Amino acid sequence: MQLFDIPLATLLIAVLATTIGATVQGSVGFGLAMISSPILLIVEPRLAPCPLMFCVTMLTIMILIREHRSVVKTEVAISSVSRLITTIPTAYVVSVVDAKTFSLLFSTAVLLVISLNFAGLKVKFNHRNLAIASGIAGISNTISAIGGPAMAIIYQSQKGTHIRGTLSAIFAVGSTMSMLSLAAVGKFGWKDIQLAMLLMPGILIGFGISHYTARALDKRNIRPAVLAVAGLSALVILVKTLLSY
């Protein structure tokens, strides 16, 4: 059985990756794209980044509805303006590079922001640093659908409900910006939405599970594990791309 010429086994791996990612993001505020995007790019490149970006948007809207009482509107506004400034030119860059260059940009961007996280970079939470982190997230999100690591640095000292609520609003706006910008340069379209539907079962299952895991994971630091999975996957993509030259 195949859908969009995607073998069932490959599709099951993709749905499993998004289920795990959606569970983590629904629990701690980020993680869907970090976990699943590198894996999707390995098993079926058509599913990332654009179809996954659509799924990220849908998931963040669902989390936002659940956690709306924790949203800080000022932070969302600051982040949105900063992301708009970096998202549009990044979309143009994505539109003119070839597949191999894109893979290099993708893996390098992921490894860079993950390295900053693992390096223990401590950034004071204020509006200026939020704007800077959001600009970086706009770049990495448009290239790879991954905006979480940059935002995790700035929000790492905040409470779980604050992170889930406010980051969901920020990601919903930011991912929408990225999709519209990519659509404007011909890199996002109806085919991507159709492919995204293949991943939505994982999104819905993961979101459902996160209802039960969110409070428990508030008390645990699972960020290193999430970043390790994403970093290893990105490293595989980088090596694979370099060997293909």
Radius of gyration of the chain (CA): 16
Q: Cα 87 vs. chain centroid, distance in angstroms?
A: 14
Q: Where are the domains of the chain?
A: 2-243
**d(Cα 174, Cα 194) in Å, to the nearest integer?**
21
Residue 124, pLDDT score = 86
Confidence grade of residue 61 (pLDDT, cut at 50, 70, 90) = very high
Confidence grade of residue 218 (pLDDT, cut at 50, 70, 90) = low
Q: Cα 64 vs. chain centroid, distance in angstroms?
A: 15
Residue 137, pLDDT score = 86
pTM of this prediction? 0.86
CB atoms within 10 A of CB 99: 10
